[in-house]
């Protein structure tokens, strides 16, 4: 039983999809025998036509927070740590000889790294194999983009994968690597340090500059390797060629000098001095940790490395010219960026101690420095330096949108005030997003309710404008769902693009991986903020495999959107207690599932937020959910045009309130008339036919700036 309703609401359009979710055979039999009046459990979802957002050219994506944790079966035999510093959320694989630098079919992969960078392999490793990155993770709260690797030792072990071991994997001996660093000015590093964990003993054990030497070397190697990626020839040098390269030596020397200045005990003392200034009565600021200083150094080296890489990549000519320009740009910005260390450090200090500062009485919070208050108000836990020399910023700042001309989507001529203003008469006597809050248009006793999520993000695999001839011109284009650009649109945002080819555009197209929301929820006690991902696309490439995320899955995650805490089972309270994802029951060779209809082509499971009609009508052959809408009139873009997408995001969570308390209680709040029935016979919010729920987003306006 599936149906789609499409309703135009003063220029807004929502797609409502209702999908039956399968319950257990025991409950089904009980339902039929004991309470025939109770209908099948249904899950109602509403998907906004487009959640479009970007950062210019598709690669300025501040948070590409794809934390798709995998679990391995069988006994774990090998473990190690991925570090620069700790890199979390990554997957590695064993690249066996002859090494081709790729993860081929049949080559084993690791677990996803945890917040301490730890990974495990479930089978023995072959001595001499290379351990390479299959799916990138994060360091310092931002995407880690360097492909690093390591070599399995003669005992079949690999303790560490880092930029230092990446040099070894390229053919350098540990003695040669140490010699390179001696020449660059880091004399304390030894051959034995190359394969050692630079954070051995924990980051807080690095209490003097000598103990910091391995981390200095690792970050300097990262900066050097990232910079030479800007030169095709330098990036392909063999170990011996790297060892003998004058250009590599020059870059490494610059990186060593910078990182030893930015990551030192004197910087810790400087940040601590600033922290001590905002002591208040009955409040002593927390001590500044070594971790704060390390995070500060990583932010500094990330910014300078980006400058060097960009200059190297954009310079024409031979390698000497490329490197000379890269180093000139590096040095031109170095002093200005290092000068921001104290400011950057205070922001990382605020992130690390957010719970402490948020507990301060309001009258004292107003006395905290602006950097602390701004950081606490931000939903992101990443600090990025503006490489033009401005102060540190969190990503996705909204540009000025004054004096612009506006071209809106078809069915999107309304202002933000059009949200939740549809009368019952206009809705045809049905409840769904857009209906006035408090209404009960279908007279089932359950009122329309809304809340504005504390956080709202969307993961986009692609975003494109469609030209009049049907061609897609991509603003964002990622090779895989795992690489999707994750954008924070918790507050109204305007995002700009200036690289679109001139011409006439008729519509917009997007492929969506998931939504991330943090909403107030009753899970069986006082309401609390909890974060969830709702998957629109299936990231599992193997039919029948249950380790990935499938269309319609709802998972409980940490508030930074990085760690999965559990799957939400159909009809159950949203406590995230189901983990790992339930195995499917098989019936006639098809996955018959954890929820309703499996994919008719692959037999893959679907979660409670989906169903066959909806997914089949709105997904590519690879189960990637897409949206495409036409403009009311064609959008004409010239060479001088800038395209902006303007978002308004309020009332972005909808549900039918069973007890009229204004609190979302999925699987917890019941119909008062069912209070005396057995729990499996009660009608509940978000768990029965009347209990619709959905993330909702208004379509963005499209602005053309000439």
Of the pLDDT bands very low, low, confident and very high (cuts 50, 70, 90), residue 621 is: confident
Distance CA 337, CA 391 (A): 9
R_g (Cα) of the chain, nearest Å: 27
pLDDT of 190 > 90? The answer is yes
Distance CA 449, CA 110 (A): 44
Is 15 in a helix, a strand, or coil? strand
Structure letter (DSSP) for residue 555:
E
pLDDT at 489: 79
Distance CA 469, CA 693 (A): 38
Per mean pLDDT, which range of 168-182, 276-290, 457-471 is the poorest? 276-290
pLDDT of 601 > 70? The answer is no
Higher pLDDT, 4 or 586: 586
How is residue 648 written in tokens?
């308004």
pLDDT of 275 > 80? The answer is no
Is residue 540 within 8 Å of residue 604, measured between CB atoms? yes
CA angle 314, 317, 318 (to 5 degrees): 115
pLDDT, tens digit, 9 for 90 and up, residues 674-696 = 888 887 788 888 877 778 888 88
pLDDT, tens digit, 9 for 90 and up, residues 638-661 = 877 777 777 667 788 899 999 888
Residue 222 neighbours by CB under 8 Å, 6+ apart? 84, 146, 148, 163, 301, 305
Is residue 518 within 8 Å of residue 453, measured between CB atoms? yes
Q: Calculate mean pLDDT across residues 232-261.
A: 90
Distance CA 436, CA 425 (A): 11
Q: Calculate mean pLDDT across residues 189-202.
A: 89
pLDDT at 448: 92
How is residue 674 written in tokens?
């069912």
pLDDT at 495: 65
pLDDT of 213 > 70? The answer is yes
Higher pLDDT, 4 or 174: 174
pLDDT at 612: 66
0.85 exceeded by the pTM? no
Angle of helix 246-262 relative to helix 174-184, nearest 10 degrees? 70
pLDDT of 185 > 90? The answer is yes
Distance CA 655, CA 46 (A): 10
Of the pLDDT bands very low, low, confident and very high (cuts 50, 70, 90), residue 314 is: confident
Structure letter (DSSP) for residue 262:
H
How far apart, in Å, are the Cα atoms of 205 and each of 112, 198, 210, 211, 345?
Answer: 26, 11, 11, 8, 19
Q: Calculate mean pLDDT across residues 411-431.
A: 61
Of the pLDDT bands very low, low, confident and very high (cuts 50, 70, 90), residue 11 is: very low
CA angle 84, 85, 89 (to 5 degrees): 85
pLDDT at 127: 94
How far apart, in Å, are the Cα atoms of 343 and each of 148, 209, 548?
Answer: 30, 22, 40
pLDDT of 523 > 60? The answer is yes
From the centroid of its chain, how far is CA 268?
A: 30
Is residue 331 within 8 Å of residue 255, measured between CB atoms? no
Q: Calculate mean pLDDT across residues 61-76.
A: 37
Q: Calculate mean pLDDT across residues 549-573.
A: 79
pLDDT of 71 > 60? The answer is no
Short-list 199, 205, 203, 255, CA closest to 225: 255
Distance CA 595, CA 24 (A): 9
How is residue 592 written in tokens?
């018959």
Q: Calculate mean pLDDT across residues 305-318.
A: 83
Beta strands in 128-225 (DSSP E): 130-135, 138-139, 142-143, 149-151, 160-161
- Please compute, for residue 656, the number of CA atoms within 13 A of its CA located in the half-sphere on the CB side: 28
pLDDT at 611: 61
Short-list 343, 123, 295, 316, CA closest to 230: 316
Is 241 in a helix, a strand, or coil? helix
How is residue 275 written in tokens?
């922290």
Looking only at the bridges linking them, the beta strands covering 494-497 and 554-557 are unpaired
Q: What is the DSSP string of 606-675?
A: --SS--HHHHHHHB-TTS-EEEEEEEEEEEEE-TT-EEEEE----S-EEEEESSSSS-B-TTT-B-GGGT
Question: Which residue in the block uniquely carries the two structure tokens 């600021």?
Answer: 285
Phi, psi of 557 (to 5 degrees): -130, 165
Is residue 574 within 8 Å of residue 561, measured between CB atoms? no
pLDDT, tens digit, 9 for 90 and up, residues 335-392 = 888 877 778 888 888 888 888 888 877 666 776 777 777 777 764 556 666 554 333 3
pLDDT at 449: 92
Residue 365, class by beta-carbon neighbours within 10 Å (0-12 exposed, 13-18 middle, 19+ buried)?
A: middle
pLDDT of 313 > 70? The answer is yes
- Furthest CA-CA distance within the chain: 82
Domains and CATH numbers, the chain: 78-161 (2.60.40), 184-191+207-377 (no CATH), 453-646 (no CATH)
Distance CA 657, CA 440 (A): 10
pLDDT of 530 > 50? The answer is yes
Is residue 167 within 8 Å of residue 237, measured between CB atoms? no
**Neighbour tally for 27: CB within 10 Å:** 14
pLDDT at 581: 67
């Amino acid at each position: 039983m599936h149906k789609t309703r499409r309703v135009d609401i003063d220029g807004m359009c929502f797609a409502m999809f209702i999908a039956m979710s399968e319950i257990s055979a025991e409950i089904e039999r009980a339902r039929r025998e004991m309470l025939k009046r109770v209908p099948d459990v249904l899950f109602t979802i509403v998907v906004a036509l487009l959640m479009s957002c970007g950062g210019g050219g598709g690669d300025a994506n501040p948070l590409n927070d794809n934390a798709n944790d995998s679990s391995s079966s069988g006994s774990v035999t090998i473990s190690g740590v991925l570090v620069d510093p700790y890199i979390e959320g990554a997957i590695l694989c064993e690249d066996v000889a002859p090494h081709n630098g790729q993860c081929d079919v049949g080559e084993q992969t690791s677990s996803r790294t945890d917040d301490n960078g730890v990974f495990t392999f479930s089978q023995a490793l072959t001595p001499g194999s290379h351990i390479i990155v299959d799916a990138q993770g994060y360091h310092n709260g931002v995407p880690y983009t360097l492909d690093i690797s390591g070599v399995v030792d003669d005992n079949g072990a690999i303790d560490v994968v880092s930029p230092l071991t990446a040099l070894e994997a390229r053919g350098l001996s540990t003695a040669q690597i140490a010699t390179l660093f001696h020449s660059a000015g880091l004399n304390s590093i030894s051959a034995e340090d190359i394969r050692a964990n630079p954070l051995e003993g924990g980051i807080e054990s690095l209490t003097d500059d000598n103990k910091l030497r391995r981390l200095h070397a690792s970050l300097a190697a990262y900066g050097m390797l990232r910079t030479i990626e800007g030169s095709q020839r330098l990036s392909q040098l063999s170990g011996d060629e790297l060892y003998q390269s004058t250009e590599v030596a020059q870059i490494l020397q610059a990186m060593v000098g910078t990182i030893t200045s930015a990551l030192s005990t004197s910087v810790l003392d400087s940040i601590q001095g600033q922290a001590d200034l905002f002591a208040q009565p009955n409040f002593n600021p927390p001590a500044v940790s070594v971790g704060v200083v390390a995070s500060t150094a990583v932010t500094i080296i990330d910014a300078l490395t980006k400058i060097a890489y960009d200059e190297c990549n954009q310079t024409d000519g031979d390698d000497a010219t490329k490197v000379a320009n890269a180093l000139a740009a590096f040095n031109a910005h170095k002093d200005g960026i290092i000068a921001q260390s104290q400011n950057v450090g205070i922001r990382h200090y605020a992130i690390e101690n957010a719970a402490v500062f948020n507990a301060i009485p309001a009258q004292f919070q107003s006395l905290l420095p602006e950097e602390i208050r701004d950081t606490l108000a931000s939903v992101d836990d990443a600090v990025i330096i503006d490489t033009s020399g401005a102060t540190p910023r969190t990503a996705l700042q909204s540009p000025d949108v004054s004096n612009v001309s506006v071209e809106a989507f078809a069915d999107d001529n309304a202002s933000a005030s059009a949200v939740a203003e549809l009368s019952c008469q206009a809705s045809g006597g049905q409840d769904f997003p857009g209906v006035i809050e408090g209404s009960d248009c279908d007279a089932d006793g359950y009122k329309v309710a809304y809340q504005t999520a504390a956080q709202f993000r969307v993961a986009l695999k692609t975003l494109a404008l469609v030209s009049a001839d049907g061609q897609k011109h991509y603003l964002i284009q990622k090779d895989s769902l795992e690489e999707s650009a994750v954008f924070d649109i918790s507050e109204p945002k305007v995002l700009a693009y200036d690289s679109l080819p001139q011409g006439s555009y008729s519509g917009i197209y997007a492929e969506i991986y998931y939504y991330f929301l943090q909403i107030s929820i009753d899970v069986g006690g006082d309401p609390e903020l909890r974060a969830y991902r709702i998957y629109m696309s299936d990231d599992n490439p193997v039919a029948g495999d249950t380790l990935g995320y499938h269309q319609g899955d709802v998972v409980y995650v940490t508030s930074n959107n990085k760690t999965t805490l559990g799957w939400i089972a159909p009809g159950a309270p949203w406590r995230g207690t189901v983990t790992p994802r339930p195995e499917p029951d098989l019936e006639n060779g098809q996955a018959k599932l954890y929820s309703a209809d499996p994919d008719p082509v692959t037999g893959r499971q679907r979660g409670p937020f989906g169903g066959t009609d909806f997914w089949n009508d709105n997904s590519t052959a690879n189960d990637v959910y897409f949206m495409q809408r036409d403009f009311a009139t064609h959008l004409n873009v010239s060479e001088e045009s800038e395209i902006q997408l303007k978002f308004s995001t309020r009332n972005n969570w909808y549900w039918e309130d069973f007890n009229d308390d204004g609190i979302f209680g999925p699987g917890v709040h019941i119909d008062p008339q069912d209070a005396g029935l057995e729990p499996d016979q009660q009608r509940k919010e978000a768990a029965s036919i009347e209990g619709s729920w959905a993330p909702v987003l208004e379509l963005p306006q499209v602005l053309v700036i000439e």
